Structure formats: C-alpha cells, structure tokens
Amino acid sequence: MNKEEKSLTFGRRLRFGVTVAVLLLFVILQILPFWLSLVQSLQPRDFVVMNTIEFWPQSFSIGNYVIAWRDADLELGYLWSLIYSSFFTAVTAVICLITAYVLEKKEFKGRNFVFMFFMSALMVPGEILLITNYLLITELGLLKSPFAVVMPGLVSVFGIFLMKQFMHSVPDSVIESSRLDGANEFVIIFRIVFPLAMPAVATYCIMTFTAQWNEYLWPQLVLSDNESFYNVQLRLLLYRPIIDGNISHPYAYALRMAATMLTLIPVLVVYFIFQKHFTEGISISGLK
C-alpha cells in the first residue's frame, strides 16, 4: 500500500467517524429532554432533590406511575383515546379506500373534477374550518358529545391521495377478470383491491391512529368542560398535582413527568413496531 492510498483511507475513515459522531450527537440531543423527564418521573418522593440535574435515577420506582395513572384518570383517558383512534381510523380507512378505488380504477364522467374537488381542501387552512365546524357541531346539538370528536375529518384527502397513488400499480386486468367472474363492486374492493393495496392502507392506518391519539385542539374545543369524554392528551393537560400546597414542588413535577411518559409510551411502542410504515408514507405519497 503506497502513501497516497493510505492517506485516502485515513481520510475516509475520519470522514466516516465525523459523520457518525454528528448523527449520534443529534440522536442523543433529541433523546435528552425525554431522558431527563424519564429520570425525574422514576424518582421516589424522598429522592427528589433540588438544584442538580440527575442523569440516572437514584432509585427505580414505578410508584409515581401508579399515583399519576390514578390521579390523572388516565385509565378513562386511555379508554376514550382508544375508542376515538380505532373508530376514526377504521371508518376513514374504508372511506378513503372506496374513494381512491373509484377515482383510480373506474372511468366515469367528472372523474377529474371530483379529484380536483377533493384536492382543493389542501388549500383551505384549518383555522377557518375550526370556527365554522364548531358552529355546525353546536347547531347539530352534538357539542360535548364523543361523536363531535371524530366527525369532521372522516374524509381524509391525504388518505385518498396516498391510496390512489398506490393503486396505480395494481393491474387493471386483476379487477377486470374478477368482474367477469361476476364479482360486484364491494367484493372487488374488499377481496381484490384491499389486499393488493394493503401496504398503503396499513401505512395510512398507523399514521392516522397515532395522529388521532395525539390530537388535543379539536377535542378540547368540542368537549369543552365535559371531562368524562376527555382523551388521554386532555387528561395530561388537565393534570396539575399539588404537593404540600405547592404546584411547583419538585415531586409534583415527578408525577407530571410520570403522566407524560404514560401518554407518550404507547405511541413510541407503535412507532418502533411499525417504523417502516411511517417512513414509507412519505415515499408512497410521492412527497418529494
């Protein structure tokens, strides 16, 4: 190996080392606030100390989690979050699947117009709709009811777009041949198109489920003070434990961080199981 080659490989190694170091730095920086919160949430009351930043808990205890789970009524919050997210995801996925199928695979007058009609929603800012949809829910007498939480967004333009893009690669011949076998539209959609479009549907479902789990603005607005239907995010926002008559007692923050972790963890679990679907969403929708 001559000198030039040696320095080249050294240069490459150095570059590789710096690249990995910078990336690792940002991975750690992103975790750091959550890690410090996690450490705080695990400290038992006697160990919560002032004026230092703890990078490792002095004692592991899930006691705070038990207290936070009970005091913040997270059980009820989890229940409603699961109901809202599952119901919303299932219904909107079926609607988007049918709509995308009709717009991609059926030929009829006005197809392009209908597609542009749906796409026009991307221009309308949600703030305008926030006000008028709130008025509409009020007029329908659905204010403070759980239906109000899931109603407005059921037709998702993003979902239609995502599935339509994906169905482009589903061959028409498959659909035609099953039609000749006498299959009706619903059999075609759910027996033929659905399995073939599964990757796009799964991606959409996972993204929608987590987005709905994280939603706070619209539920807060329509549920107002009716706490019995609050989802887990609203429960967390509501949670302000008071220790020794003090809302900013260090231990009160330990409890709040425990409730925070309990809200965050389900989404992270879903993310690390289905991680590929989140990154695929961007490539399927052609957002590049």
Q: Is 141 in the site for other proteins (CB under 8 A)?
A: no
As measured in angstroms, the least distance from the Cβ of 59 to other proteins is: 19
Q: What is the identity of the amino acid at 252?
A: A
Q: Is 116 in the site for other proteins (CB under 8 A)?
A: no
Of 42-71, binders to other proteins (CB under 8 A) are 50-53
With CB under 8 A as the contact rule, which of the stretches 18-26, 63-71, 161-169, 195-203 interacts with other proteins?
18-26
The answer to whether residue 130 forms part of the interface with other proteins (CB under 8 A) is yes
Residues 248-277 that bind other proteins (CB under 8 A): 248, 250, 253, 256-257, 259-260, 263-264, 267-268, 271-272, 275
Is 279 a binding residue for other proteins by CB under 8 A? The answer is yes
135 is a contact residue toward other proteins (CB under 8 A): yes
Six token digits for residue 136? 């509409």
Q: How far apart are CA 163 and CA 111, in angstroms?
A: 16
d(CA 218, CA 223): 8
- From the list 217, 241, 204, the residue with the least C-alpha distance to 93 is 204
- Measured CA to CA in angstroms, residue 175 lies from 13, 102, 108, 187, 206 at distances of 53, 12, 16, 10, 27
Nearer Cβ to other proteins, position 63 or 105?
A: 105
Q: Which of residues 202-231 bind other proteins (CB under 8 A)?
A: 210, 213-217, 221
| Site membership for other proteins, residue 109 (CB under 8 A) | yes
* Token code pair at residue 65: 């989690």
By C-beta, is 155 or 196 nearer to other proteins?
155
CB 48 within 8 A of CB 258: no
Of 66-105, binders to other proteins (CB under 8 A) are 95, 98-99, 101-102
Is residue 190 involved in binding other proteins (CB under 8 A)?
no
Tell me the site size for other proteins, rule CB under 8 A.
86
Smaller CB separation from other proteins, 10 or 16:
16
How far apart, in whole angstroms, are the C-alpha atoms of residue 251 and residue 44? 8
- What is the DSSP-derived secondary structure letter of residue 123? G
The counts of H helices and E strands in the chain are 15, 0
- Residue 2 within binding range of other proteins, rule CB under 8 A: no
Asked if 14 and 29 count as a contact pair (C-beta separation under 8 A), the reply is no
Regarding 180 and contact with other proteins (CB under 8 A), the answer is no
